[in-house]
Amino acid sequence: MRITGAQAIIESLKKEGVDIVFGYPGGAVLTLYDALYQAGFPHVLTRHEQGAVHAADGYARATGKVGVCFATSGPGATNLVTGIATAYMDSIPLVAITGQVAVSLIGRDSFQEADISGITTPVTKHNYLVKHAGDLPKVLKEAFFIARTGRPGPVVIDVAKDVFATVLEYQYPENVQLRGYQPLFAGDQTAIDLVVEEMKQAKRPLIFAGGGVNLSETVTVLRDIVDLTGFPVISSLMGLGVVPSDSPYQLGMVGMHGTYAANMATTECDLLLGVGVRFDDRVTGLIDHFAPKAKVIHFDIDPAEINKNVRADIRVVGDLKWSLPALYGQAQGRKAEAWKAQTEDWLDQVQAWNRENPLSYEKSTEVVMPQAVVERVSELTQGNAVIVTDVGQHQMWVAQFYGFKHGRSLLTSGGLGTMGYGLPAGIGAKIGLPDKPVFVFAGDGGIMMNCQELATAANFGLPIKVLVMNNQVLGMVSQWQRLFYGERYSHTSLKGHTDFVKLAEAMGVTGLRVTIPEELDRVLAQALEIEGPVLIDIRVPDTEDVLPMVPAGARLDQMIMGGK
């Protein structure tokens, strides 16, 4: 059929199963938005392009589908960059379609021209500049294939303005043929055999579960492996929820703000199975002393990650959809009783570490402790909610004190650490999973970075609950200044006149406030009864630290402990 380039994009989105787009219109994409209007295609107008890309990211993380966003040329496209980089660092499937100036104006510093392909090359899996309408079907097909296969990631499609209006003979390709890109699925079976033999010999084995388990939808099979073998588990920030927090084998998050048990188990284990992890510096601490007594086995779909940070004794390269079922099948050749007898003493030891130094904090009847807020939400939701965080102290308190029980239940900017991520990502998550409760935890610093998206939540009547941990400082930066910079608080005070309740109400969102512990339960109950979006301004102490903490450059067993 003969249709315009803009119509071809809409038709291609339908064929890829896209059911919602997040975006913000502008001159270069007017034709695309007109086609969107005529097709009646679902679209969420955010209040900023960064809000659109973070919402698409949150939608993708919550649902497992490819998130899609639109933006116009120049500043519209460049406003997407932080969100694209956020998705890239955490391997989130995303397609961003941007407008570009007309073909005849490209390269002339034309009005609202920016080389978004060049700008985003370091933070995309691939990108395109489309100058010919006839290329659109093939480009769209390839873009979604690249975004969702192999190690997922963001793809940018930059389309010249006149291409949207050009008529083409539309036929969507059935298959994709990309020379040089053959996403690996199955790997070497002999590697699985070697892993099982090492597992049989280990006295102190440990499974390190990362975000790749969520992305590959292999949560169930990893849990089966844990239940069969009785091997204890540590999690990265992105891997929380892969094994339930109340499992006897779950030791919690590892790394800079990890649990005592997780960090000590990593230090003392003799076999470490890293599954879908990057061995990020926030996990490893002083890398030369990371898991010093262990043979390291690394399962990953991306061969570039193997030996990048931590040397692997055995590499298992391939999709976890292949490797974990293969591992489970091999491990089932031995009875669960034999596996668990092998590691009984080790499990006793790691559980003893948990009992000796559990996550804790000083309780108070006078001030609202942020950890208590997280614990209360965890009790109310029983782990059956989508928890979205911004970045900072509250992010770590959520990781420590919320009882995650399901995969894809924590949405957070792990690799890039993007302040301003939480609110728009929560919007995307709620639109993707309308029947799931969605809670957004933010700090009073991060919430201001994309607070305009409160208006988006109000406009769509999205019943997200936004909890602002308001300590009137840039909490995590302030903590570092307190611990390592002689309490010289250089430009981290946010004390002033920001009234978050009034801010919320100005944007059509119900605003509530908690100032003392006795108010917490009543206000949370009130928020849950309100059908629309709610923001709760929760006043917490400005000197409360996230502990334990491994200082930069220290070993994992050199933790600063805290709590009562």
CATH code, domain with 116: 3.40.50.970
Q: Is residue 179 part of a domain?
A: no
On average, the pLDDT of the chain sits at 97
CATH code: domain of residue 330: 3.40.50.1220
Angle between helices 219-229 and 320-331 (to 10 degrees): 20
* Last residue within a domain, chosen from 136, 169, 202: 169
Residue whose C-alpha is closest to residue 392's, from 266, 526, 492: 492
Domain finish residue from 169, 200, 234: 169
Would residue 161 show up in a list of annotated catalytic residues for this protein?
Answer: yes
pLDDT in tens, 61-100: 999 999 999 999 999 999 999 999 999 999 999 999 999 9
Is 361 part of any domain? no
Q: Report which secondary-structure segment, H or E, holds 537.
A: strand 534-539
Q: Do 279 and 325 sit in the same domain of this protein? A: yes
Same domain, 308 and 427: no
Residue 421 lies in a domain: yes
Choose one of 323, 356, 389: the last residue of a domain: 356
State whether 243 and 308 are in the same domain.
Answer: yes
pLDDT digits 0-9 by tens, 457-468: 999 999 999 999
Distances in Å between the Cα of 433 and the Cα atoms of 26, 59, 408, 426, 553 are: 29, 8, 11, 10, 40
Residue 552 maps to a domain: no
Closest CA to 33 of 43, 48, 18: 43
The CB-side HSE value for 73 (13 A sphere, CA atoms) comes to 26
| pLDDT for the residue 183 | 87
- If asked whether residues 513 and 455 sit together in one domain, one would say yes
Q: Is 481 a catalytic residue?
A: no
- The angle that helices 344-356 and 260-268 make with each other, rounded to 10 degrees, is 140
465: nearest Cα among 514, 417, 403: 514
Query: Of residues 7, 11, 16, 49, which has the active-site annotation?
Result: 49
Active site residue 337: no
Residue 295 has pLDDT above 80, yes or no: yes
Q: Do both 224 and 134 map to the same domain?
A: no
Beta carbons of 176 and 15 less than 8 angstroms apart = no
Q: Are residues 267 and 157 part of one domain?
A: no
Please determine, for residue 564, whether its predicted confidence score (pLDDT) is greater than 60.
no
Same domain, 390 and 502: yes
352 with 213, same domain?
Answer: yes
Average pLDDT (204-219) is: 97
The reply to whether 31 falls in a domain is yes
Task: Note whether residue 550 is domain-resident.
Answer: no
Counting the structural domains of the chain, the total is 3
* Residue 157 and residue 105 share a domain: yes
The single residue of 50, 100, 112, 395 carrying the catalytic annotation is 112
The rounded distance, in Å, linking the Cα atoms of 108 and 235 is 50
- 419/479 same-domain check: yes
DSSP one-letter string for 170-185: ----S----TT-----
* For residue 184, pLDDT beyond 80: no
Q: Is residue 544 part of a domain?
A: no
For residues 330 and 416, membership in a common domain is answered with: no
Catalytic residue among 14, 38, 111, 189: 111
Confidence band of 563 (pLDDT split at 50, 70, 90): low
Query: Which is the catalytic residue, given 125, 141, 161, 405?
Result: 161
pLDDT per residue over 382-409, tens digit each? Answer: 999 999 999 999 999 999 999 999 999 9
Q: Taking 60 as the threshold, does the pLDDT of residue 177 lie above it?
A: yes
Closest CA to 387 of 400, 402, 375, 373: 402
8-19 residue pLDDT tens: 999 999 999 999
| pLDDT tens per residue, range 20-49 | 999 999 999 999 999 999 999 999 999 999
pLDDT at 182: 85
Residue 414 has pLDDT above 90, yes or no: yes
Q: How large a percentage of the chain has pLDDT more than 90?
A: 97
- The per-residue pLDDT for 180 is 87
Do 382 and 346 share a domain, yes or no? no
529 occurs within a structural domain: yes
User: Which residues constitute the domain of residue 35?
Assistant: 2-169
